[in-house]
Amino acid sequence: MPDSVLEPSRRTPVIAHPDVLVVGGGAAGLAAAVAAARSGAHTLLIERHGFLGGTLSAVTLGTLCGGYRVEGEGGRVHALVGGFYAHLVAALRAQGATLPPRRWLRNVSVPYDPIALREQADRLTAAAGVRVLLHCLLTSVQVDGDRVACAFVEHKGGRAAIRPKMVIDTTGDADLCARAGAGFDIGDDGSTQFASTMVRLGGVDIERFLSITRAQRLERLEQAAADGHALPRTSAGLQVHPGTGVVHANITRIREPDGSSPDLLDPWSLSAAEAEGRRQASLYEHVLREYMPGFEHARLVDMGAQLGVRESRLVHGDRQLTEAAVRGCLKPADTIACCAWPMEQHGKGSGTTWDWLPAGDWYGIPYGCLTVRGFDNLLVAGRNLSAEHVAQSSARVAATCMAMGEAAGTAAALAATTGCRAREVDVAGLRATLANAGALLQPGEPALAGAGVDWVEG
């Protein structure tokens, strides 16, 4: 038997009794907390970092994806996600912290400033009346029958307990569900999408950079690889960001020497992966300077506070989003979020595969993908939803995570108010409430033009 210790039992102070406890303040958690508070629930959001935003701010992204659907290359563009996502983008835009949406083939997405997003997250949660506890790590839970009775957190001052009516796990890694004993898969039988350390480079001559096409950028990196630079990835996402001469680079790829994905739930593997991400960031900085027009004097000016994890635990919900449902663009009657993003696989090799949905079409995520099998007061939202590995590679983008979070927060507030189980929430009523708050659940709106939604190619 491996070495272990038996910890002594102890008495822990209860510091809050919220109607709705949201654990994890990323895209899904932010939307969930704001929606729950807006629906009248006393809402507490806990977050392990000192700021909100999760992957959006702690990792940083090139663009916010998933907000639109596109009828085909060169075809019309339609809004696909409204509600909290639209409010956040509008707030960022008003602050001058976005660029016009960028269009690439059948994708349209919004470049944003990840530092401004932290501030907007503070503002939006405060305006909705969400209580926020930062630097609080969820460590364990107490389960009573089919309910999560208590969540335990560690903070600088020690340990505390929270007794919620309803709980939403938006940790991205389903930390709470795992500790509660809920079932989950890890990617595809343990094999997950590769993680990436994300960086921003400053001092880029943007005009020179934009003078070559995306295909030519790929050729430059493939040339660098052919010249002997050991690049783990040549399919770079290089996005011009708000600011002068700033480009966001989604370019690194963290894998084991045998090409497999590391177990990022293991602290030794995660520590090694963080160091490898920094090594690769420096390698790409030098390669970009040498091979990419406009980057001659560029240097790293920002690096995510943590490695970007695309996929880990996928919770077993009452329903599961399947690859077949995504490919078939199924639109169940209990759809609570809509998605048109392709199945974007960061898997084996140095490339990225884009498996597109039929032009202009979309699929619906059913409410049952958010209710956790075997639990009455527990929901999930975001990248740890109940989904098959390939389906998650589409549903995990930011706007879709926010749409799921908004639905989970609204549902949790309804359940807390009426005393019903999470899976018993009246989904027709939930959809009506979401639609009143601006969510798009029957996206057939006319094509967008003007009013800040003009896009540029690139």
Ligand X SMILES: Cc1cc2nc3c(=O)[nH]c(=O)nc-3n(C[C@H](O)[C@H](O)[C@H](O)COP(=O)(O)OP(=O)(O)OC[C@H]3O[C@@H](n4cnc5c(N)ncnc54)[C@H](O)[C@@H]3O)c2cc1C
49 binds ligand X (CB under 6 A): yes
- Tokens for 332, please give them: 């169940």
Q: Convert residues 336-375 into a mask of x (bound to ligand X by CB under 6 A) and - (unbound).
A: ----------------------------------------
Specify the DSSP class assigned to residue 157. T
Bridge pairing between strands 313-315 and 299-303:
unpaired
Draw the binding track, 190-229, toward ligand X (x: CB under 6 A; -: no contact): ------x-x-------------------------------
Q: Parallel, antiparallel, or unpaired: how do β-strands 363-366 and 335-339 relate? A: antiparallel
Is residue 309 a contact residue for ligand X (CB under 6 A)? yes
Centre a 10 Å sphere on the Cβ of residue 158 and count the other Cβ atoms it contains. Answer: 9
Pairing of strands 237-240, 343-345: unpaired
SS3 404: helix
Query: Counting contacts by CB under 6 A, is residue 383 touching ligand X?
Result: yes
CA dist 22 and 36 (Å) reads: 9
Does residue 242 interact with ligand X by CB under 6 A?
no
Position 253 contacts ligand X (CB under 6 A): no
> Binding ligand X by CB under 6 A: which of 18, 19, 22, 26?
26
Judged by CB under 6 A, which of 38, 42, 48, 316 binds ligand X?
48
69 binds ligand X (CB under 6 A): no
Find the shortest distance in angstroms from Cβ 163 to ligand X.
Answer: 17
Instruction: Tell me: does residue 18 bind ligand X (CB under 6 A).
Output: no
Q: Determine the interface stretch with ligand X among 83-91, 118-126, 306-314, 350-358 (rule: CB under 6 A).
A: 306-314
Which residue in the block uniquely carries the two structure tokens 């085909």? Answer: 72
* Whole-number Å distance between alpha carbons of 439 and 406: 9
- CA proximity to 151, closest of 178, 172, 127, 129: 178
How far, in Å, CA of 371 to CA of 377, rounded?
A: 9
For residue 110, state whether it binds ligand X (rule: CB under 6 A): no
The only residue of 233, 396, 423, 431 in contact with ligand X, by rule CB under 6 A: 396
When asked if residue 99 is in the footprint of ligand X (CB under 6 A), the reply is: no
Query: Between vectors from CA 393 to CA 454 and to CA 263, what angle results, nearest 5°?
Result: 135
Minimum CB separation of residue 444 from ligand X in Å reads 23
Q: CA 181 to CA 167: how far, in whole Å?
A: 14
Footprint of ligand X on this chain (CB under 6 A)?
23-29, 46-49, 54-56, 58-59, 61-66, 137-138, 170-173, 175, 196, 198, 250, 308-310, 382-383, 396-398, 401
